[in-house]
Structure 1
Amino acid sequence: MKPTNMLVIMSDEHNPRVLGASGHPIIRTPNLDALAARGTRFSDAACNSPICVPSRASFATGRYVHQIRFWDNAMPYDGSVPSWGHRLQQAGHAVTSIGKLHFRSAEDDNGFDEEILPMHVIGGVGMLPHLLRKEVRPSKATLKLAAEAGPGQSSYQDYDEKITDAAVEWIKARAGQRGGKPWTLFVSLVCPHFPLISRPEFYNLYPEDQVPLPMLYGADERPSHPFIDAMRIVQCYDEGFDSETKIRRAIAAYFGMVSFLDHNIGRLMRALEEAGLMDSTRVLYTSDHGDNLGCRGLWGKSNMYQDSVAVPLIMAGPDIPAGHVCHEPVTLVDAFPTILHAVGAPQHPDDADLPGSSLFDVMRGLTHPRDVLSEYHAVGSVTGAFMLRRGSLKFIHYAGMEPQLFDLRTDPWETRNLAADPDWAGPRRDCEAALRAICDPDVMDALAFADQAARIEAVGGREAIFAQAMHGYTPAPTAA
């Protein structure tokens, strides 16, 4: 396979169901749909932790969260574990980031020659209240979600516009360049991450009376599980949605932000075309996690349901089958070997044990069926959650709680927990054994709590954290 340049685009909180190429009935994503039409869409992609900081740390390092121990939004990646950017630099490739990284600091060596308009965690420490997982207290910041939802301007949309402007200029500057080793550009956009505020020109694409209400939203439809019940107390977003109008307004705003995201991706694709780089550049699009978007009465992310843990993943460019859909489960740790494969960088000897596989091999059926992992140890989780995908089966182990087992082939909305069904006892045992072959979830749960306890102590204890100002989300950088 001939090495090419690599453009990696990441959004934030994009539910893969909200994509025209995935069959959504009303969303308008013509540029992403065109990317899928000229490339391959991975229908069963997932993040490795359904919250920003640990998900992005896994994406950068190609390792599972329990391997790198960046557990939550108060324990950010600091460059100490080699990233795909570091490996590209070591092999002599240019590598640049533009936009959100959500690492500790631009002062760290994060593996980029240049960080343009970077967003990192607040003050280099992140959201310290996320460490207090046993403190089941409602977060008042979550009530802003419903109150703010609707048409309007937001700092995130302004930031994304500046990120796209900078990326377009970066691509233009490479027009006509030939020779030398291929470059990699990482463009990381924030939308459709909440606040659910969408510019009117995109919001108005979705009349409020025409947007669908969330699935499984009725009180008698919502699943009950101790992990989810505790999450509802901490992340009490839904308490603010006291009318159908507010719900529809929020969904219309999310749809509008997805279309705004698609608009910016279209600008990037046109820049590649106009610079004469389309035939020498592969493109990978994904997101750091999904968004529940009201399904089951849940908003945001932070659980193992598909709306939260699944992500869109599309690849296009030279040697990538056009109009193809790959149903093999994949996760964001697969990006590390994929990016190196795309640009022709050799595997580093220290990376032989990475859990991911090159997506070029996966899409061609050159890998054996794999078990893939996601885990969650962050805000609202009173215990650790570990999800294993094996084909269409999805097994979720909660430390100290009853597990869940779903067959996504016949139950894509995860309404039937098969874990206690005697007819599914064999598959449940197999999935649990496969999970324990990757890690001991109970040992890793204890390790996460121990690391977080040490961090709590280091920042002055629980009361010092409770005294800290609460942030519902990381502010866009003022320098942007």
Structure 2
Amino acid sequence: MGKPAKNLLIIMSDEHNPKMLGCAGHPIVETPNLDRLAARGTRFSSAYCASPVCIPARASFAVGKYIHEIGYADNADAYDGAIPSWHHKLRDRGHKVVSIGKLHFREEGEDHGFSEEIIPMHIVEGKGDLMGLVRSDLPVRKGAYKMADLAGPGESQYTFYDREIAARAQVWLREQATAEHDKPWVLFVSFVAPHFPLTAPPEHFYKYYDQALPLPKLYAHDQRPTHPYQVDYRKSFNYDDYFDAVKLKKALAGYYGLCSFLDENIGKVLQALDDAGLTDDTRVIYTSDHGDNLGSRGMWGKSTLFEEAAGVPLIMAGPDVPAGKAIDTPVSHVDAYPYILEAVGAATPALLEGFPGVSLQALAEGAQPDRNVLSEYHGMGSATGAFMIRHGQYKYIYYVDYPAQLFDLKADPEELHDLGSDPAHAATREICHARLMAMCDPVAVDKRVRKRQAELLEANGGRDYVVRRGDLGFSPPPGAAITFD
């Protein structure tokens, strides 16, 4: 990087579909603060998480490696600090590294590498979503009704939690960030919006509910793709069984409203940074752990490898970051790891060796490495391991037990036409498959993950107990009641 060391503010949201940004061209959703951040920095328009579900995505972001390299493959196997993270490495080198908000690691009391964890949200009972360990004869989610029934105007446990996160971040920036520090600090602020429940503060909800809203893409039953992976997911996470026209509009307005609510809170944090006189000495990264299907193809939530779920918003700004740029080179959350170390002046060769990422700074400055980025999925609602790579304009999705898919994102950015069985694209599929195999052996990874899941399932009472235990629909924030369905 060769740039002066500066402070670093990392803001992460939860389940923010990368298309739902004003600066990404969305015709409805209003995100003025993120738009301003993008205008003074660089936005990556083809950015991906390592896995489209909370725990694996956050573990990969922390450690800087792909899921097949580190484990933590599903929402019942959370990061526990056993593999050193960038938090560990910076803290151990004298940097103040503080988190505020959702982490979704295993439990409090473990050393996750932060100097301090402020109002952290970790997985339920240190166990998380045990039903995700069941990978055959997939159980139907009892809590799926909450997606439709809770959509509407108001406040939820999550909006209250996000308000507290924003408040704590503002206080920290005004009182702690301005104190004397021997080395640049890192503040990780992690919100839960726009993750469901789709209950949005009224001032944001009605802004969208009071206008005509288009149906989600391929939402009609006769339009929905019949690939077995998507069929499995829709049957297990049967959110859409509970929707009618009124609830559908409430859900869309709720999600859009939560995107604007998130943007409001991010604006408060960025304003506090500015009021503290730290903007010129601080680089900023904004991203989300993964996206959300938001009804597209009849699916809600995450857990697919379409752009809506595996894609993430990714914006960086601050000293030495190219301003007003949009980069369409595919990038990954693993690329954040080398950049974080570089940004605060800790990127020694020893700390970067063996990591797959390419620094976001280099990518922002135009680097186009000959590599592929990968997202993989092994969790809830899936009966088979799924692996996706970007190769140029193409997205290739390999399923261990189902037919592969191929999409030409240049000609078909909405992924409406699956080329997975098109004879005219056989050569492209072969090239993509060889590229995937050069990164990992999907069959071997799937076997290893399933072995780990079987062990965890047995340790937690077996299939029958786990299914009876049920699911929460969404993890409760600190201090909230835990109620399974």
Question: TM-score w.r.t. structure 2 length?
Answer: 0.96
Unmatched 5+ residue regions in structure 1? none
Instruction: Tell me the CA shift for residue 100 of structure 1.
Output: 0.2
Residues 98, 167 of structure 1: 8 Å contact kept: yes
Q: Using the aligned pairs only, state the percent identity.
A: 51
| CA–CA distance in structure 2, aligned partners of residues 255 and 196 of structure 1 | 9
Residue identity in the other structure for 1:388: I
What is the count of residue pairs matched by the alignment? 479
Residue identity in the other structure for 2:267: G
| CA–CA distance in structure 1, aligned partners of residues 276 and 231 of structure 2 | 52
Residue identity in the other structure for 2:304: N
Instruction: Tell me the CA shift for residue 72 of structure 1.
Output: 0.6
Instruction: Tell me the CA shift for residue 106 of structure 1.
Output: 1.9
- Give SS of 1:145's match: helix
| CA–CA distance in structure 2, aligned partners of residues 184 and 215 of structure 1 | 39
Residue identity in the other structure for 1:217: Y
Residues 61, 81 of structure 1: 8 Å contact kept: yes
- Give SS of 1:374's match: strand
Runs in 1 of length 4+ with deviation above 6 angstroms? none
Q: Which residue of the partner structure matches residue 190 of structure 2?
A: 188
Q: Which residue of the partner structure matches residue 95 of structure 1?
A: 97
Q: Which residue of the partner structure matches residue 303 of structure 2?
A: 302
Q: Which residue of the partner structure matches residue 115 of structure 1?
A: 117
Deviations 1:118-161 (A, max 9, x none): 00000111111110111322112112211111111100000000
Q: Which residue of the partner structure matches residue 477 of structure 2?
A: 476
Residues 57, 70 of structure 1: 8 Å contact kept: yes
Residues 183, 343 of structure 1: 8 Å contact kept: yes
| CA–CA distance in structure 2, aligned partners of residues 36 and 54 of structure 1 | 27
Residues 338, 359 of structure 1: 8 Å contact kept: yes
Q: Which residue of the partner structure matches residue 319 of structure 1?
A: 320
Instruction: Tell me the CA shift for residue 448 of structure 1.
Output: 0.8
Q: Which of 12, 25, 28 in structure 2 is aligned with 1:26?
A: 28
Deviations 1:390-415 (A, max 9, x none): 12210000002110000111101111
**Which is further off, 468-477 or 443-452?**
468-477
Instruction: Tell me the CA shift for residue 208 of structure 1.
Output: 4.4
Q: Which residue of the partner structure matches residue 385 of structure 1?
A: 386
Residues 87, 348 of structure 1: 8 Å contact kept: no
TM alignment of 1:52-451, pairs within 5 A: 52-174=54-176, 176-177=178-179, 180-241=182-243, 243-347=244-348, 349=350, 351-451=352-452
Q: In 2 relative to 1, CA 293–455 (structure 1 residues): closer, same or farther, beyond 3 Å? A: same
| CA–CA distance in structure 1, aligned partners of residues 181 and 58 of structure 2 | 31
- Give SS of 2:192's match: coil
Residues 62, 356 of structure 1: 8 Å contact kept: yes
Residues 369, 391 of structure 1: 8 Å contact kept: no
**Which is further off, 376-385 or 174-183?**
174-183
| CA–CA distance in structure 1, aligned partners of residues 452 and 408 of structure 2 | 34
Instruction: Tell me the CA shift for residue 440 of structure 1.
Output: 0.3
Residues 177, 185 of structure 2: 8 Å contact kept: no
| CA–CA distance in structure 2, aligned partners of residues 65 and 208 of structure 1 | 42
Instruction: Tell me the CA shift for residue 366 of structure 1.
Output: 3.1
Residues 338, 352 of structure 2: 8 Å contact kept: no
Instruction: Tell me the CA shift for residue 219 of structure 1.
Output: 1.6
Instruction: Tell me the CA shift for residue 348 of structure 1.
Output: 6.0
Question: TM-score w.r.t. structure 1 length?
Answer: 0.97
- Give SS of 1:449's match: helix
| CA–CA distance in structure 1, aligned partners of residues 438 and 163 of structure 2 | 44
Q: Which residue of the partner structure matches residue 7 of structure 1?
A: 9
| CA–CA distance in structure 2, aligned partners of residues 470 and 441 of structure 1 | 29
Instruction: Tell me the CA shift for residue 465 of structure 1.
Output: 1.2
| CA–CA distance in structure 2, aligned partners of residues 246 and 155 of structure 1 | 20
**Which is further off, 228-237 or 166-175?**
166-175
Instruction: Tell me the CA shift for residue 349 of structure 1.
Output: 2.3
Residues 139, 467 of structure 2: 8 Å contact kept: no
Residues 91, 346 of structure 1: 8 Å contact kept: no
- Give SS of 1:260's match: helix
Instruction: Tell me the CA shift for residue 209 of structure 1.
Output: 4.1
Q: Which residue of the partner structure matches residue 460 of structure 1?
A: 461
Residue identity in the other structure for 2:427: G
Residue identity in the other structure for 1:116: I
Q: 1:40 and 2:42 equivalent?
A: yes
Instruction: Tell me the CA shift for residue 176 of structure 1.
Output: 4.7
Instruction: Tell me the CA shift for residue 204 of structure 1.
Output: 1.5
Unmatched 5+ residue regions in structure 2? none
| CA–CA distance in structure 2, aligned partners of residues 226 and 249 of structure 1 | 29
Q: In 2 relative to 1, CA 187–355 (structure 1 residues): closer, same or farther, beyond 3 Å? A: same
| CA–CA distance in structure 2, aligned partners of residues 103 and 174 of structure 1 | 25
Q: In 2 relative to 1, CA 204–420 (structure 1 residues): closer, same or farther, beyond 3 Å? A: same
